[in-house]
Structure 1
Amino acid sequence: MSTPQPPPGAFDSAFDTALDRAFGHPTGLLGRVGGRLMSRANAATERRLVALARLEPDETVLVIGPGPGIGLDEASRLTRKAIGVEPSAEMRALCHERCGDRVELRSGTAADTGSLDASVDAVLSVNNVQLWDDRAAGFAELFRVLRPGGRLLLSAHEKWLPIPRHDLAAEVTAAGFTDLQTWTWEPPGFAPLAAQLRALKP
């Protein structure tokens, strides 16, 4: 009698689902484990993006997909108000553990931040743009909530970008942003090469 075999692709599908629950759309125990790993792997990139934003004490910063909150925590120590928009309840819990009441946490996405028009000075996002369901809507929303002169800074593992870096830059420009700059940065340790982007709202 032969042993029943799993259907083709079953293991790949289960592995992909586990990865998504840990890192893509963190949920449950896998999400919390993924968050702990992200806090180590992304820390240098998170801190670099905050430094590049040159935040001022009287500013409001919006962090899209803060994950376990490394960058959000850093930003909250430099600005008047730091807001994290995160769809994962597990990640919001980790953010709260790290940041406490220094930050405002919201359930939302890049396309639905819950912010008023022209209410923030800087938007930061690390390793999140590849998860946006609708990038055009996301960039339009971030343009809407930024004040004139506000800046957008994005970083993502280059190998996981949803489209080539120059095409992503074109989408940002199409949303109305100007003074766009892109570059790559090699984080310390074993983190993959990061593609980074900075743009302004005129």
Structure 2
Amino acid sequence: MSRFAGFALDRAFGHPSGLLGAAGGALMARSNAAAEQQVVRLARLTGAEEVLVIGPGPGVGLRAAGEMAARVVAVEPSAPMRDASCRRCAELPNVAVEDGTAEATGQPDAAFDVVLSVNNVQLWPDRAAALAELHRVLRPGGVLLLSTHERWLPGGRAGLHADVRAAGFADVQTWAWQPNRGTTQAQTRAIRPK
């Protein structure tokens, strides 16, 4: 990949900013919607949970979680995507959007029942550190749900599965899921042991 192509992809999707970030956000809202909805369904939210969403982008999945959970906090490193998420969830008083990353959420220990992440695991610079952080912020018995583009996932499904287990999670399940449109997703569900 050329240096320019790498820069353009980073500005559109990795760290959205400027016109490329706006275009990337619009594309993410459409192309990630099925995976976002799937992950929220898999979480089986009952209305009592406190949920952390990692990298909500334009906020499609964040809104879906906010409509079903007691409280939802999103951490997003991109200011334009934080703004887009805030606009999408403006009428949901139980949703907060903050600056942060998977590796540094800024959240307290054992604060969440569920952690959700869609299509950003492949962008985490240090997956082991991110998974350790997500383990830290989950309550014992809490659920981790990850979904990401399989073709761009370093180490593939097997690598993700092994990394989640190495971070101390139990009952790790990893599978491929194909939305009606879009790329195959590598999805993982795991529990923080009690």
Listed one character per residue, the Cα deviations across residues 41-87 of structure 1 (whole Å, up to 9, x for unaligned) are: 00011000000011121110000000000000000000110111000
In 1, the alpha carbon distance for the partners of 2:88 and 2:140 equals 31
Paired AA for residue 27 in structure 2: L
Match of 1:128 in 2: 120
Q: C-alpha root-mean-square deviation of aligned residues, in Å? A: 1.1
Listed one character per residue, the Cα deviations across residues 96-136 of structure 1 (whole Å, up to 9, x for unaligned) are: 11011521111110111111111100000001011111111
In 1, the alpha carbon distance for the partners of 2:13 and 2:102 equals 17
Q: Any idea what SS the aligned residue of 1:71 has?
A: helix
In 2, the alpha carbon distance for the partners of 1:188 and 1:70 equals 17
Match of 1:35 in 2: 25
TM-score computed with the length of structure 2 as normaliser: 0.96
1:26-105 correspondence to structure 2 within 5 Å: 26-100=16-90, 102=92, 103-105=95-97
Listed one character per residue, the Cα deviations across residues 154-185 of structure 1 (whole Å, up to 9, x for unaligned) are: 00111010212112111111111000101111
Paired AA for residue 178 in structure 1: A
When Rg is computed on C-alpha atoms for both structures, the one with the higher figure is 1
Give the number of aligned pairs: 191
1:172-187 correspondence to structure 2 within 5 Å: 172-187=164-179
Task: Please list every run of 5 or more consecutive structure 2 residues that lacks an aligned counterpart in the other structure.
Answer: none
In 1, the alpha carbon distance for the partners of 2:80 and 2:154 equals 24
TM-score computed with the length of structure 1 as normaliser: 0.92
Where does structure 1 differ by over 6 angstroms across 4 or more consecutive aligned residues? none
Match of 1:196 in 2: 187
